[in-house]
Amino acid sequence: MLNEAGAKVHSKSAIEAMDLGDEEDFASMFEASIKEEKGGSLVEGVIVSIKDDEDGVLIDVGKKQEGFLWKSEILDENGELKFKVGDKITVMITGFRNERPGLSYKKAIRGKKVEEFIANYSEENEVLVDGVITGKNKGGYIIEENDIEFFLPKSQAYFKDSNTIIGKKVKAKVIKVDPKTKSIVISRKVLVEADREKRTEIITALLAKDDVTIGVIKKITSYGMFVDVGGVDGLVHYSEISYKGPVNPSSIYKEGEEVEVKAIKYDEEKRHLSLSIKAAMEDPWDDLAEQLEVGDAVKVLVSNIEPYGAFVDLGNDVEGFLHVSEISWDKNIKHPKDYLEVDQEIDVEIVEMDFEKKKLRVSLKQILPKPFEGFIKEHKTGNVVTGKITTITNFGAFVRIGSIEGLLHNEDASWDRSQKCRDLFKEGDEVEVKIVRIDYEKEKISLSKKDLEESPIDVFAKTHKNGDIVMAKIRDKKEFGIFVELEDGVDALIRHEDLGEKKSDDLEIGEEIEAAISFIDTDKNRIRLSVKRVARAKEKAQMDEYNNDERSTLGDVLKDQLNK
């Protein structure tokens, strides 16, 4: 049948009857479709009847035949009839029903456009179509542009079919025109393959020359920029823009701007061309080794601040990283913004230079006086100081004394073993502590609060002496002896050799045993007990008591004699 522009195209029934293996034989395809449908020709007729109460118009098309035309096809924009009875009109015979021809005025107009297109077509000139898919069948797709229908075979489509294909725009090339059947065949495949061939030639030349090329920025994204180089789009990843490291391209460039780039990689499987801006520039790291070395102090500009540190600009497209731990000797930095500002000029020391990875680390605190050095000039072991608790952990608390922190371990917080720093203090509390140890090598300070208080052993020593017999509760068993608890929570040790006839294996935790005090060391806060000395201590006590009684008795006798 004829399309709306007058070109003969496939009917659905004709396409379904085709052998897909013969898709390339376009002439046969159209011939087959024509043979299966009657009509399709343009004729000039005369309007013989237009009735207000009917939707159709009767037109004399010759050969004693009157065809039917829908009245809606000859209405203007205002709904008025363009023709009247007796007017001549060119229509297309679209088919027959009960031997009455079906007519179309709109398809006749399109048919004339097809005829004009075919008449003006020349194989010497490339003709491109940029149309919309308006229909599809088993053999291919109907593409429409300017009221002209083109046929795109599936083998020439070069895209996947889908339910949403209708309405999509397609750019293709006219590859066959048949004046006899008034058919126009187009191909998208020809354009795609030609574009790929051209793209491959351009990419191959770019990679082979390894030259700097001028490109135009087409689109800027969060991960980089798409740049047109000679008709081919390549991606400049944000990490390939500057030697400073990944940067936000939108803060430096604008779409449409020209940039110098160099092709660095092509992924044939994904057909992705990778470009680089920094590769088109001189590498500033080449001269850096001669200018700087680890330990040098340099002036830098803070370019970016993150929670984990700051990036600093050394100039000449070189950027260094200042980790948050290298900003200050203060270990309790919450955020670098509390110490630094963007565009602030600071002095830093270079602590690491990795030329292979092009990474440079700097330190701000290394050029600042060390708080530990200032502390040890003013303090020594044994000093009593006042500090503020900054952090409480499971093992103790950190106490700030001036500009440094010391550790108050749980064992040094209280003589009561059950009391931990978490139970005794809260962050922000001021505490008086004693400096019990200074580690000059590791620059650590150990503190004690219990050393400022009277120890339970000191209190115990006031009412007890060596040889006293006491009751002790077994608290723990070790390889070298057992730990026992005396009154007021005082700890003491009984070594295995001091257990006498008793055996450690026969004793239970929580059991009470009788023991004698071997010695009390208040300087080291230690008490030693002995079970085997209990009998000897008891004998001595009884002897002392007996001797005291004997002395008392003899004295009384002598006193009586003297009185007499």
Q: Are residues 66 and 169 in the same domain?
A: yes
Q: Which of 26-30, 267-271, 463-467 has the highest mean pLDDT?
A: 463-467
472 in Cβ contact with 513 (< 8 Å) = yes
Q: What is the pLDDT of residue 340?
A: 93
Q: Which of 355, 388, 406 is the last residue of a domain?
A: 355
Per-residue pLDDT band at 373 (split at 50, 70, 90): confident
Proportion of the chain above pLDDT 90, given as a percent: 32
Q: Which tokens go with 245? A: 């490291």
CA distance 195 to 189: 10
Q: Are residues 120 and 29 in the same domain?
A: yes
The arithmetic mean of pLDDT across residues 101-112, rounded, is 85
Does 554 fall in a domain?
Answer: no
Q: Are residues 439 and 524 in the same domain?
A: no
Query: Residue 102 is part of which domain span?
Result: 12-187
CATH of the domain at 409: 2.40.50.140
* pLDDT tens string 129-178: 999 998 888 889 989 898 888 999 999 998 888 888 899 999 999 999 98
Q: Are residues 237 and 309 in the same domain?
A: no
Using alpha carbons, select from 30, 5, 4, 13 the residue that is nearest to residue 153: 30
Per-residue pLDDT band at 33 (split at 50, 70, 90): very low
The arithmetic mean of pLDDT across residues 379-386, rounded, is 93
264 in Cβ contact with 206 (< 8 Å) = no
Q: What is the pLDDT of residue 430?
A: 94
Does 559 fall in a domain?
Answer: no
* In the predicted structure, residue 378 carries a pLDDT above the cut 80: yes
Q: Are residues 218 and 97 in the same domain?
A: no
More confident call, 503 vs 187: 187
Using alpha carbons, select from 1, 4, 2 the residue that is nearest to residue 145: 4
Buried b (16+ CB within 10 A) or exposed e, 362-392: bbbbeeeeebbeebeeebeeeeebebebeeb
Q: Are residues 268 and 381 in the same domain?
A: no
Q: What is the pLDDT of residue 208?
A: 75
The arithmetic mean of pLDDT across residues 365-380, rounded, is 88
* pLDDT tens string 482-527: 999 887 778 899 998 888 888 888 888 999 999 999 999 887 888 9
The arithmetic mean of pLDDT across residues 57-64, rounded, is 87
Strand partners, 526: 521
* In the predicted structure, residue 28 carries a pLDDT above the cut 70: no
Q: What does 56-122 look like in DSSP terms, one character per residue?
A: EEEEE-STT-EEEEEGGGGB-TTS-BS--TT-EEEEEEEEEETTEEEEEHHHHHHHHHHHHHHHH--
Q: Are residues 258 and 391 in the same domain?
A: no
* pLDDT tens string 443-480: 899 999 988 988 888 888 888 888 888 999 999 999 89
- Tokens 């371990």 locate to 409
Q: What is the pLDDT of residue 18?
A: 35
129 in Cβ contact with 142 (< 8 Å) = no
Q: Which of 139-153, 242-256, 270-284 has the highest mean pLDDT?
A: 139-153
* In the predicted structure, residue 187 carries a pLDDT above the cut 90: yes
The arithmetic mean of pLDDT across residues 524-550, rounded, is 76
Q: What is the pLDDT of residue 559?
A: 61
Q: Are residues 111 and 37 in the same domain?
A: yes
Q: Which of 452, 483, 499 is the last residue of a domain?
A: 452
| Region of poorest pLDDT, from 3-12, 114-123, 183-192 | 3-12
Does 549 fall in a domain?
Answer: no
The arithmetic mean of pLDDT across residues 175-188, rounded, is 88
* pLDDT tens string 193-232: 888 888 777 777 777 777 888 889 999 998 999 998 887 8
Q: What is the pLDDT of residue 545?
A: 66
Domains identified in the chain, total number = 5
More confident call, 262 vs 41: 262
